[in-house]
Structure 1
Amino acid sequence: MVYNRTGKGEEVLHLDRVSKIYTMGEVQVEALKHVSVDFYESELVVLLGSSGSGKSTLLNIIGGLDVPSEGQLYFRGKEMTAATEDNLTVYRRESIGFVFQFYNLISSLTALENVQLVTEISSNPMSAEEALRLVNLSERMHHFPAQLSGGEQQRVAIARAVAKRPELLLCDEPTGALDYETGKLVLEVIRKVNEELGTTTLVITHNVSIAAMADRVIRMRSGEITEIESNKKKLSPSELSW
C-alpha cells in the first residue's frame, strides 16, 4: 500500500516496496520491510520511532547515502534506484540537504566559511551570508565553532544544508544533542526554512512531542511503517513540551 498525500503540493518522492537487508557475517538483518510512501512539495514530515525502527535507514536511502536491497525510489518521477554513482553524487549535491545530530562543522573554519564550502560547489546557491541570516546568525558568522553554543552550531549546520537550495531537507535527530530550550530554537529554524523556502522537510526523531509540529507523522517499528497521520492543527516549536 502507498500512503498518499495531505494535499500540500506535487509529489517529490515515491517509494515503492523498499526493503533493506544488511548481512553481518552469517546473519541477515532486515532493516526495512517493503516500505511504500510518498512525500510532497513543501510539507514537513516527522518520522517517529525508537532506535532500530528503520527510520535512519529510510532517510539514508532517500538521501542517496544507501541503496535498497529491493524496491524502487523515484525522485521527481526519475528512478534513483537505477542511478549510477555519479548520478547519485549529483543528486546528493544538488537536491539534498543533510542535518545530523552532531554538527560536523570544520573547526578551523568560521561559520561563514563552513557554509561557503557548500555554496562553492552548488549550481544555484544562495549566498552564505543569506543562509546565515535565515537561521538568525548574522552576528555570529565570523565566529569559529568552538566559539559557538551547541544550538548555534546546529543552526550553522542547517544554514550549510539549505544554502544550496535543496528540494529535500533531511534532519536526523537534529535536537538529540541539545537541551530543551535550545532544541526548540533549532526546531523553529527548521520550521522557518520549510515555510519560507518551501523545502520538503523530513525530521527523524524518537521524541514523540516533536510530531505535533509536522504536517504528517510517520510512525515506524521493526523496519515497517505502522501508521501515518496528518495533524489537523500544527503546533509551533514554541508550543512544544517534553
Structure 2
Amino acid sequence: MKEFIKDQRAENESSPMVLQVRGISKRYRMGEVVVNALNKVSMDFYSGELAVLLGASGSGKSTLLNIIGGLDLPSEGSLFFHGLELTAASEKELTAYRRRAIGFVFQFYNLISSLTALENVQLVTDIAENPISPEEALMLVGLENRMNHFPAQLSGGEQQRVAIARALAKRPELLLCDEPTGALDYQTGKIVLDVIDRVNRNLGTTTLVITHNVSIAGMADRVITLRSGEVVEDRRNTRKLSPSELSW
C-alpha cells in the first residue's frame, strides 16, 4: 500500500482526487425480499474537503460510508483510493487501507470503559506507523486536562472528543464520521462539530460527515443528499458556515 498521509490542505476540485466512487450498488436479501440500499451511486472526493452526506434514515448514507471505509463491499460498481481499486483489493490490502488511511468516528463513541482517555487513544497509536502522540491528539480536541479520566467520568461530548482524538491520532487521510452528534444535545453537538471542523482545517484531513440534520450541512464545503439509495443532489456551499453559526 502507498503512503496515505498528506501534509497540507488543498482546495477541493483543484486538489488531488482522493476517492472515486463509480456506479456503486448494494443489495441485501431479506428472505424473499431484495432491498436496494444503494443504486448506482457515483461521486468524487478531493484532498482536504469537508463533505456532508445528508439524508433520512434508510437513505443509504451509512451503507455508503461503510463501503468507503472498507467495512463492506458493494454488490456492484468500483471504489478507487488514489488509483487503488478497493473493490478488487485483497483482504490484506483492505486491512492496510482501514488501518492506515481511515479514521472512524461513530455515534456511540465505542470507548473501552476500563481505560482512561489517554489509554483509549494509545490503543491506536501503538499500532499506527506514523502517529500523533496520544497527548497531542487529546490536546487537539481540547481535552488536555481530562487525559487521565475514565469514560464514565466524562460527559457525552467529551467522550465523543476522545473518539475523535483516537481516530485522528494515526493521521488518517479520510475521517469518516457517522452521525457524530446524534447522541448529543445541541450545545455539546456544536462543540464536537467545531472539533471536526478544526481537524479538517488544521490537519488537512478529508472529512465525510453523515447526518440527517439539514442544518449541519451549512458547515460543509460540499453537500451530497441521498434518498432511497440514490444521489439526488451534489452541491457546493457558496458560503461555508462555522459550527458556531449553525442552529437547529
Residues 48 and 211 in structure 1, CA contact (< 8 A), matched pair in contact too: yes
Partner of 1:198: 204
Per-residue CA deviation, residues 131-177 of structure 1 (Å, 9 max, x unaligned), is 00000000000000000000000000000000000000000000000
Alignment pair present for 1:133 and 2:139? yes
Q: How many residue pairs are counted as aligned between the two chains?
A: 238
Distance 1:6 1:133 in 2: 27
State the 4+ residue runs in structure 1 displaced beyond 6 angstroms.
none
Please state whether the residue corresponding to 1:28 is helix, strand or coil: strand
Distance 2:139 2:39 in 1: 41
**Structure 1 spans left out of the alignment, 5+ residues:** none
Distance 2:246 2:22 in 1: 33
Q: How does 1:58-207 map to 2 (within 5 A)?
A: 58-207=64-213
What letter matches 1:165 in structure 2?
R
Partner of 1:241: 247
Distance 2:23 2:241 in 1: 32
Alignment pair present for 1:227 and 2:227? no
Distance 1:156 1:6 in 2: 28
TM-score, normalised via structure 2 length:
0.95
Coordinate RMSD, CA, aligned: 0.9
The match for 2:38 among 32, 35, 44 is 32
Partner of 2:4: none
What letter matches 1:133 in structure 2?
M
- CA apart distance, 1:93: 0.7
**Structure 2 spans left out of the alignment, 5+ residues:** 1-10
- CA apart distance, 1:8: 5.1
What letter matches 2:190 in structure 1?
K
Residues 8 and 42 in structure 1, CA contact (< 8 A), matched pair in contact too: no
Residues 12 and 48 in structure 2, CA contact (< 8 A), matched pair in contact too: no
Please state whether the residue corresponding to 2:209 is helix, strand or coil: strand
What letter matches 1:155 in structure 2?
R
Per-residue CA deviation, residues 33-55 of structure 1 (Å, 9 max, x unaligned), is 00010000000000000000000
Please state whether the residue corresponding to 2:13 is helix, strand or coil: coil
What percent identity do the matched residue pairs reach? 74
Per-residue CA deviation, residues 97-154 of structure 1 (Å, 9 max, x unaligned), is 0000000000000000000000001111010001000000000000000000000000
